[in-house]
Structure 1
Amino acid sequence: MNRNLGNQNTTIRLKINQERYEREILASDLLLDVLRKIGFTGAKPGCLNGDCGACTVIMGKQPMKSCLVLAIEANDTEIITIEGLHKTPIQQAFVEHFAFQCGYCTPGFIMNATALLLNDDDPTPEKIKTWLSSNICRCTGYKEIEEAVHSAIHNIKFIE
């Protein structure tokens, strides 16, 4: 039995923000680390245990905490990172509603909100609050973030 599986190299293919990438990785590499090595640094290493949501990306219309996903699990998967949402209505809504302070957690919140709007084109305020509860902001209140998401509800066509 080979106990060094985490040290074996393997090649994966990723589609990130509509572009294809092929990388050689270790079986134990986290998706967060692979994304950052490719140059997608918007997913932030925060708690590294899935609690804060700063590393959130979208995989198959679902928000995923990339610090909990092995890169090999993302093989042949479409991934959207915050860089793929450049100048979209959801980002503009965060600016207009002052839904950030330091900005470290903001990409994760935007990714989570985008996934919500991709899955529900008219979420209730309660559903917005529930979806956002998987992310943590230590600088600001959540009211502005919830207002930003609510204001972007009718602009969900921004990444399709």
Structure 2
Amino acid sequence: MPANEIKRTKAEARAALIQRRAAAQAKANRDIDLLNAAADVRQHQAALDALERMLLRGGAVMLETLHQVLLPHVWLTDEQGWIVGHILAAEPDDLKRAVESGGIAVLALPAALQERWCDLDAQATWTVEYGRALRAISDQADARMRALCSEALLRGSLDLPD
């Protein structure tokens, strides 16, 4: 060890370590804030995308195909994250509060129905619509299958090429 090198005391080493930890914690806090801001931006962009799709469809919630059932929708949430309702059916006061507080969730209907809701009647309405849509989709698939089977039987009985 060179003669002109000065050793730190334990107190100095401890102070330097505390200072490095504080700097690392401050950097980590800034990084966390940036990540949270980026997540908020992504959430708002997802909400805008979902709203744009709804507006292009004429502002109606369409649940006629499985694809439509699984599309993300914009739901308003309260302070605890419970779903208040769909943005298109929102009361003006609920909409204003949600926009101001960031109380927006972008979820497909099946996922939204798995969340907690403020109003069980509103959730029941969406549950009924979800069940109706799934039954209609199932009925369409059954009808298509019956039509295909009938067509195959007819082709077979008439010896027509496929």
**Between Structure 1 and Structure 2, which shows a larger proportion of strand residues?**
1
TM-score (norm 1): 0.31
TM-score, with length taken from structure 2: 0.30
Between 1 and 2, higher relative CO (CA 8 Å, sep ≥ 6) is seen in: 1
Bigger radius of gyration, 1 or 2? Answer: 2
